[in-house]
Amino acid sequence: MQGEYAIEESYNVENITSNPLIQKLIGASVGHEEGFMRVQPSGFIYPTVMQQYIDRIKKFEVKDDDIWICTFPKCGTTWTQEMVWCLMNNLDFDKSKQIDLDIRTIFLEWKGLLSPGRTSSIADQIDLAAALPSPRIIKTHLPFTMLPDQIRTRAKTPKLVHVVRNSRDTCVSMFHHWKLLDGFVGEFELWSELFYEGLSAYCSPFFKHVETYYLSNYPNMLFLKYEDMKKDLKKSATKTASFVGKEFSDTDMDRLVDHLSFKNFVKNPSLNKKRHVKHAEDFGSSKPVEGKGFIRKGQVGDWVNHFSPEMSEKFLKKEDELFESTGLRL
């Protein structure tokens, strides 16, 4: 089993738009009529527009001193991006506040996740990532199997920072993300079914996605958990600092922890993604239900407010299976 997901020579794409659950997703969303596909052989789901980017990403020129933040959506990506950027930039909080995180660190496949109508004003992220000054910090939600060839084959071995979160909170957070930014108008019941069946719009299935990283045997990867960051952020930040080869005084680490706190994220315009929400609003794709923004609740256990006992059991069973295959306890 180890290394099963390490190398995939080629992809092919299966259009799954006619799948009955995908039809329900499209029917309960604004602006996703162009449909969805499954990227084979590893089987991850994306909007069909992603097809334009897969090969460019596959051939992307990687650098050994890159740092890649690799996550399934909603697992603590933004939090970790900011933490890593601050560690790599001498805790320059002033600069961080002046320049949007999405400019300091680039989200490689971003344009492949949005409906084509929304992407015309967004710059080519793959070109932007290539042009970032080194050491580059690159964000991706791709599974390990869809990372650039140079990483999968170990021709280049940049640092990868992987962050994971328990499946039920991830599902809830993604449900709200789709309401806030991607035009979902359906109920949580449909969303959780899509997530469970591995059909929740992009990067799914969640459990397999996590498995691709945990079974990759990649030699230069730090594994973090959202729940650990919530419990003791200083500990996670210290571990991350050491992974990226940086050291700061105890006082500086306290300053970093304060900068990264939820309350400071909510009010920090370079981190809170209000610009993205405005962009989605302009396209009629923002239908939030709780009056909250992208930095929404930041809690462990919000799933209790959404899950039925039956669906909760089904997710826990999948977490058990993931534990059996990877040793990872979510």
Active-site residue numbers? 141
Q: Decide if residue 302 touches ligand PPS (CB under 6 A).
A: yes
Site for ligand PPS in 127-156 (CB under 6 A): none
Q: Decide if residue 265 touches ligand PPS (CB under 6 A).
A: yes
Q: Decide if residue 93 touches ligand PPS (CB under 6 A).
A: no
* Residue 10 Cβ vs ligand PPS, minimum distance, rounded to whole Å: 27
Task: Find the part of the chain contacting ligand PPS (CB under 6 A) among 41-49, 182-190, 250-258, 294-302.
Answer: 294-302
Question: Helices then strands (H, E): number in the chain?
Answer: 17, 8
Residue whose C-alpha is closest to residue 200's, from 218, 173, 165, 229:
173
Residue 8 vs 171, nearer CB to ligand PPS: 171
Identified binder of ligand PPS from the candidate list 22, 57, 73, 311, rule CB under 6 A: 73
Compute the Cα dihedral for 229, 232, 233, 234 and give only its sign. Answer: negative
- DSSP secondary structure, 282-297, as one string: HTT----SSS--SS--
* Residue 18 Cβ vs ligand PPS, minimum distance, rounded to whole Å: 28
Q: Beta 221-225 vs 159-164: how paired, if at all?
A: parallel
Neighbour order of strands in the sheet with 137-140? 106-107, 137-140, 67-71, 159-164, 221-225
Q: Decide if residue 240 touches ligand PPS (CB under 6 A).
A: no
Cα–Cα distances in angstroms (integers) from residue 215 to residues 7, 51, 103, 212, 281, in the given order = 11, 25, 31, 5, 39
Residue 31 vs 298, nearer CB to ligand PPS: 298
Identified binder of ligand PPS from the candidate list 49, 75, 151, 224, rule CB under 6 A: 75
Residue whose C-alpha is closest to residue 57's, from 113, 119, 125:
125
Task: Find the part of the chain contacting ligand PPS (CB under 6 A) among 12-20, 86-94, 168-176, 309-317.
Answer: 168-176
Q: Is 73 helix (H, G, I), strand (E, B) or coil?
A: coil
Q: Decide if residue 47 touches ligand PPS (CB under 6 A).
A: no
The count of residues in the chain is: 330
Residue 48 vs 166, nearer CB to ligand PPS: 166
φ/ψ (deg, to 5) at 323? -60, -40
* Residue 235 Cβ vs ligand PPS, minimum distance, rounded to whole Å: 15
* Residue 166 Cβ vs ligand PPS, minimum distance, rounded to whole Å: 11
Identified binder of ligand PPS from the candidate list 29, 77, 125, 150, rule CB under 6 A: 77
- Report yes or no: 159 and 267 within 8 Å, Cβ to Cβ: no
What residues line the site for ligand PPS (CB under 6 A)? 71, 73-79, 169, 173, 176-177, 260, 262, 265, 295-298, 302
